[in-house]
Amino acid sequence: MSNSIPFNERADRFQGYRGPVKEILEKHQIGVWSEVDVTNDRGSVFAGVILPRSETFDDLHLVVKLFNGYNIGIAAERIVSIRETGYKKAVYKIPEKEFPFDPQKKNVTLLGTGGTIASRLDYRTGAVIPAFTPGELYGAVPELADIANLTTKKLFGVFSENMGPEQYKVLAVSIGKEIAKGVDGIVVGHGTDTMSHTGAILSFMVQNSPVPIVVVGSQRSSDRPSSDAALNLINAVRTAAECDIAEVMLCMFGPTSDNYDLLHRGTRCRKMHSSYRSTFRTIGDTPLGTVIRYPNDDGSHFKYLTDDFLRRDKTRVPVINPVFEEKVTILYYYPGFKPDIIEGLTDMGYRGIVIAGTGLGHVNKPLYPAIKRAIQKGVTVVMTVQTLWGFTQMYVYDTGRDLLDLGIIPLDNMLPETAYMKLAWVLGQTDDRRQIHTMMTTPINHETTPREPHNGYLILQGGLPEVDAFVQKHWK
């Protein structure tokens, strides 16, 4: 293998290297993936392979992964000699194993958007190489074959934060096609950051689904042995294949422990912690159910926490409506908020503004003229609450009544992000003010609920003896 590729023919020879280090590498005709002996001014010899360097690091150090597994940076100014002993380019590939087909099992399609659910690790760089094809997934999570026959389609490879209108439309259309093919369930692999946004928009773009549509990802990177990735994927595929709930759902860890996943309704959930495994919570309601890897005593993997859901029915015909108005935004109100932002949005041609107001749905008086002008110019302005839990109630105070008079539409307990997705979807279909009002205030899939059960709001306060005593008895 040594030196089998001539130096000049190697791609990305100096990946990330600049300045003095690059000069040394050029001088010695050595680059990334070269196996080297580097000797420094103290006579220390470092034997290992040259790794690419992050562009954000300085240009003074050469990164070598030593053959003992550790990686170090060697200062260019201390390098006395450098000698290539071999060359081995990283192969970013996962060996495929054929995914077994069992006619007894349900058929599930996994649509990939770019989030890494299963992966292989590149031991040299620490890079995570996504496993995606059924063969790759089977190699990484062989348990999947015990659950369903899996087909995969890679729609795009974007990070969660780069998902947007174009991707939502493609995703909705693809889901429609898979349903038309007669699959028993659909899994959408997704990064976690905007997973609930996608859950919300899919709930509007794909209605009346005959089968479960399960959005899944991993919160702690899938290269770590303790990742939630494999378990989430196993549970999501199980849900797609067997669960009775034919809705758009998110399937993510219930507790941080490896225990069960929660099935959240796409319109009602939110990422509530930047890194915790149990980050997704249903807001203002209870989740739809739980799914667990090993069956409960009754032989079922599912516990339904409500019976108010659309049941699996393969004869039902879905409605796919992939529209999206991009000139919509969310404003997060704060004391001292200046009207010029609203003026600006109006002048820039925005068609919809979701306000996340304080308390029951409030903003201060100086904004009124700007809001009034926006509405007069045809902008739809809707109100949600930044408390996330609870309803807008704009009749209680004068400020609320004033806002209603201006033509703001209160959206009850619709989450701000869900309201954004719904407004963009509605404005993608109509500019008729009355129709917009009706559509926004008529729930499609529980994005507003008529009532909030008392256990729909539960943020246990740590430190209280009774709460700590409760937590102590459970796997967190």
Partner 1 sequence: MLDSLDYQAVGLISGLEVHQQLMTSEKLFCRCPAGLYTETHDGEVLRHMRPTLSELGEYDGTALMEFKTKKEIIYLLNQQNVCTYEMDDTPPFLVNQEAIDVTIELCLAMNMDVIDEVHIARKQYLDGSIPTGFQRTAIVGVNGWIPFKGRRLTITHVSVEEDSCREVKDKGHQIIWRTDRLGMPLTETVTGPELFTPQEVREAILLCGLVARSTGRVRTGIGASRQDVNVSVRGGDRCEIKGVPRAGLAVKLVHNEGLRQCNLLKIREELHRRGLRTPDSVRMTAHDVSDVCATADLGFMQRALQAGGKVYVVKIEGVAEIAQHLTQPDTTFLDELRGRVRVIACLDEAPIVLSSAAMPEFPGKHGILERLRKRVNPGDNDDFFIVFGPEEDCRTAAEEIRSRFADATAGVPKETRQALVGGFTTFERILPGPDRMYPDTDLPPTRITRQRMEEIRSRLKPPPWERIERYTSWRVPEETACYLIRRGGAEIVDAVVEKTGVDGLLAGIVIGQQYKALQRSGVPVQRLGVAEWIQVFDLYTDGRIPREAIPAVASTMAKDNLDAEGASTALGIALRKHEVWAKEADRLTFEGYRCKSNEDTDQKRVRFLTGRAVRMLKGKAPAAEVAEFIKTKLGEVAR
Contacts with partner 1, residue ranges (CB under 8 A):
40, 42-46, 51, 54, 56-58, 60-61, 63, 65-75, 78, 93-95, 119-127, 139-140, 220, 223-227, 230-231, 256-259, 273, 275-277, 468, 471-472, 474-476
Tokens 């979701």 map to which residue? 354
431 catalytic? Reply is no
Nearest approach, Cβ of 3 to partner 1 (angstroms)? Answer: 20
Residue with tokens 């859950």: 199
Q: Which of 59, 193, 244, 258 is catalytic?
A: 193
Residue matched to tokens 């929660």: 262
Do residues 248 and 213 make contact, with C-beta atoms less than 8 angstroms apart?
yes
What's the CA gap between 276 and 113, in Å, rounded? 22
Q: Are strands 106-112 and 148-154 parallel, antiparallel or unpaired?
A: parallel
> From the CB of 458, what's the least distance to partner 1, in Å?
18
| CB neighbour burial string for 295-307, b if at least 16 within 10 angstroms, e if fewer | eeeeeebbebbee
Amino acid at the residue 196: S
Distance CA 165, CA 443 (A): 21
Helix, strand, or coil here: 411? coil
Nearer to partner 1, 34 or 358 (CB): 34
DSSP 364-379: -GGGHHHHHHHHHTT-
How many other CB atoms are there within 10 angstroms of residue 332's CB atom?
12
Rounded Cα–Cα distance for residues 189 and 171 (Å): 11
Residue 116 known to be catalytic: yes
Residue closer to partner 1 (CB basis): 295 or 369: 295
Give the C-alpha separation, 109 to 106, whole Å. Answer: 10
Between 347 and 468, whose beta carbon lies closer to partner 1? 468
Nearer to partner 1 (CB atom), residue 11 or residue 471: 471
Known active-site residue 399: no
Among residues 121, 116, 288, 124, the alpha carbon closest in space to that of 212 is found at 288
CB of 215 to partner 1, least distance (A): 21
Decide whether 63 or 249 has the Cβ nearer to partner 1.
Answer: 63
Residue of 22, 65, 169, 271 with catalytic role: 271
Shorter beta-carbon distance to partner 1: residue 45 or 396: 45
Could you tell me where the beta strands, DSSP code E, fall in 310-424?
319-320, 328-332, 352-357, 380-385, 409-410
The nearest distance, CB 303 to partner 1, in angstroms, is: 18
Contacts of 219 by beta carbon, 8 Å cutoff, 6+ apart? 192, 228, 252, 253, 275, 276, 277, 279
Bridge partners of 128, per DSSP, are 121
Among the listed residues 194, 217, 229, the one whose alpha carbon sits nearest the alpha carbon of residue 121: 229
Q: How far apart are CA 389 and CA 297, in angstroms?
A: 35
Catalytic residue among 133, 192, 239, 418: 192
Q: Is residue 192 annotated as a catalytic residue, yes or no? A: yes
Question: At its nearest, how many Å lie between partner 1 and the CB of residue 253?
Answer: 10
Smallest distance, partner 1 to C-beta of residue 28, A:
18
Nearer to partner 1, 123 or 334 (CB): 123
Contact assessment for residue 248 and residue 202, using Cβ atoms and an 8 Å cutoff: yes
For helices 416-427 and 195-205, give the axis angle rounded to 10 degrees.
40
The catalytically annotated residue of 116, 290, 384, 418 is 116
What distance in Å separates the CA atoms of residue 431 and residue 437, rounded to the nearest whole number?
10
φ, ψ at 143 (rounded to 5°): -60, -25
Q: How far is the CB of 434 from partner 1 (least distance, A)?
A: 48
**Residue placing its CB nearer to partner 1 in the complex, 65 or 169:** 65
Shortest Å distance, C-beta 116 to partner 1:
12
Catalytic residues: 116, 192-193, 271
